[in-house]
Amino acid sequence: MSNRIVETRTVRTFGAPRRDRVQLMNLGLLGALLVVAVVLPYLGVTGFVISLVSTILIAATLAASVNFLAGNGGMVSLGHAGIAAASAYGAGWASREGFDPGMQVVFALGMTLAASLVYGLLSMRTSGIYFLMVTLAVGMLIYGLAFRLSSVTGGENGISGIERPEWMGSYWIYYYVVLAAFVAATAILYVVGNSPFGASLRGIRDSESRMRSLGYSVRSYKLGAFMISGTIAGLAGLLAVWHTHFVSPSSAGVDRSVHLIVMVILGGVGTLLGPLIGAAIVVLVENVLSSHVDRWPTILGLIFILVILFARAGIAGSTRKLFRRLRARRESAVSPPSPPPPGRSDTSVTPENNTAEQHQGKDLQ
């Protein structure tokens, strides 16, 4: 048996790897947006604009929890609105019973962990469309309980008058709290997604059977991912109920979960800025454009169709791909031709040389 000789070459790259450069560029863009968000209250904008940006940041936090599951684990959830609603109802019930804001956080966290655990235990054995249907069913269960348990949830009327902590009373202070929560949630999901745990999740997304054969506990990883994602969703639910001072069964509706999926797809699944971009589009269409156009859902649907047709990776993902193509073309245009391999002459083959070689071949025959 002849030995196979494999020729290897060492490729030297200047600067960070391409993946790291893309991530650094995303972080730089996120940092620029963060600077704008920090100075926004000092730019003379109205309270309505600050409230609208707060709504976008809360929606982006909730969409980031869905994006974490879909991007790293390939698990698309249609029930995260139910987890956020469970957290909101926990804080609302504590407020109605006269508990202080600290106990509101405790009850909201408890409801979040309980709902996330139920979601995770029921869905960790499934994948694909079955995972989607299980999360949809549990979300509908929470929606039904919000209607039926009127003594706790207030039924169809919901719970109103939910007060946030006194030091958050001013709208601009609360805006900074929401901004800090969004940055913290994004940083946590980014770190977890780039950790060995996130790499294992992506391996499970690509091939569950292979990861199982390597000794990984697939169900445990799925449950852990859902608990992390559910905790972020519960944080968004608590911020939402403190922002609107009201919670009702519509907060757990299927349309809310569908809007989250739309946000993730519009921005780009698995991207860092995708949830923020998608949340900005959906919230602006729903809250600003709806005051001028009655059929705003149609416009949102058209935007969604255009993104699916012409930017399948989402706005952030397609923009990243476009930059990569432009950079590759620029590098190929300015890069010098590669030198010939050792042992081969660099003389070009002309018709005269080719004819001479043919005559020499005939003479040898």
pLDDT < 70: residue spans in the chain = 1-23, 26, 335-365
Q: Which residues pair with 160 in a beta bridge?
A: 246
The dihedral through the CA atoms of 154, 156, 157, 163 has a sign that is positive
What single DSSP character describes residue 290?
Answer: G
- Tokens at 10, concatenated: 């060492």
**Residue 298 to residue 121: CA distance in whole angstroms:** 37
What is the per-residue pLDDT for 22?
Answer: 62
Q: How many angstroms separate the CA atoms of 35 and 43, rounded?
A: 12
What integer pLDDT is reported at residue 319 of this predicted model?
84
pLDDT at residue 347, rounded to an integer:
46
Tokens, residue 188: 């946590």
DSSP code of residue 7: -
Q: What is the pLDDT of residue 305?
A: 93
Tell me if 252 sits within 8 A of 85, measured CB to CB: yes
Q: Which pLDDT belongs to residue 336?
A: 61
Q: How many CA atoms lie within 13 A of 325 on its CB side?
A: 6
Distance CA 161, CA 242 (A): 10
pTM equals: 0.83
pLDDT score recorded for residue 187: 93
Three-state SS at 322: helix
Characterize 62-79 residue by residue with b for buried, 16 or more Cβ atoms within 10 angstroms of its Cβ, and e for exposed.
bbbbbbbbbbbbbbbbbb
The predicted pLDDT at position 349 comes to 45
Q: What are phi and psi of 126, to 5 degrees?
A: -120, 170
C-alpha 199: how far from its chain's center?
Answer: 16
Q: What is the pLDDT of residue 9?
A: 39
The predicted structure's pLDDT at residue 26: 67
Whether 81 and 262 have beta carbons less than 8 Å apart is answered as: no
